[in-house]
Amino acid sequence: MSCRRLNRLSKEDVLWSKLLSFDFPAHVSSSTDRQSPKSIYQIRFEKDKVKKLLAERRAVLRIESRIHEHTRKLHEIEGRLVDENEKLKAAIDELKGLRRVKEASTALKVWQPEIIHSRQKQIVENCSVPVGFRINALEMEIKLCKQHISGFLRARKDENNRLEAAKERLSKVKYHPLQSFGLDDESRNSRKSTGKNLKRVKHV
């Protein structure tokens, strides 16, 4: 009985005129007399559906572009972190070597067995840079590397948060609950339109 009643009501021009004024009030005055309110509503509905699909597609493309950019920045930060860690390791290794040279140079000033004295002298002679000056420079470089690494770690965390937020936003934009029930576009729109009509029929 409900289906027969709904079928009968769906042919009423008064009903479709009301639906048209509810859903597309801006287009009512521009409608032609040669078309029925139902036909006009269907045309407007399809145009509105296409418009919404295009808007959704543009939103998806914008978010996907952001995701690509966040991913690119993350790769760039990771690369700079690797470079900075390598610089830090090299500076620490060189600093350890220079401190051994400094210790050997100090040891030469006191009496030692000949074999130890010869070894300390060889270590000092193999160093071709001013030890004190280079040690100071390396200590500053190590401090700077650690600051850079700390900054890159913060930047990576922030960029990763932006990436996750963009992915979540994309998931929400793409989310269509009815798709999980295996409904195609036509059946989804049909059910949506029918439910819409039934709701408004009660107020006619």
Domain assignment present for 131: yes
Domain assignment present for 191: no
> CATH number, domain at 47?
1.10.287
Q: pLDDT category, 194, cuts 50, 70, 90? A: very low
Domain assignment present for 186: no
**pLDDT above 90 coverage of the chain, percent:** 35
Domain assignment present for 29: no
Q: How many CA atoms lie within 13 A of 62 on its CB side?
A: 8
Domain assignment present for 179: no
Q: Which residue has the higher pLDDT, 181 or 57?
A: 57
Transcribe the chain into DSSP letters.
-HHHHHHHHTT-HHHHHHHHHHH-GGGSTT--TTS-HHHHHHHHHHHHHHHHHHHHHHHHHHHHHHHHHHHHHHHHHHHHHHHHHHHHHHHHHHHHHHHHHHHHHHHTTS---HHHHHHHHHHHHT--S-HHHHHHHHHHHHHHHHHHHHHHHHHHHHHHHHHHHHHHHHHHHH--GGGGGT--HHHHHHHHHHHHHHHHHTT-
Other beta carbons within 10 angstroms of residue 77's beta carbon come to 20
Domain assignment present for 5: no
Mean pLDDT over each residue of the chain, to the nearest integer: 76
The per-residue pLDDT for range 28-72, each reduced to its tens digit, is 555 455 677 778 778 888 888 898 889 889 999 999 999 999 999
Domain assignment present for 41: yes
CB contact at 8 A, 9 and 196: no
Other beta carbons within 10 angstroms of residue 76's beta carbon come to 14
Q: Which domain holds residue 75?
A: 13-21+36-173
Cα separation values, 106 from 111, 127, 132, Å? 11, 14, 12
Q: Which residue has the higher pLDDT, 189 or 167?
A: 167
Q: Give pTM, 2 decimals.
A: 0.61
Return the pLDDT at 9.
52
CB contact at 8 A, 129 and 179: no
Number of structural domains found in the chain? 1
Return the pLDDT at 183.
45
Q: Which residue has the higher pLDDT, 169 or 102?
A: 169
CB contact at 8 A, 33 and 41: no
Domain assignment present for 59: yes
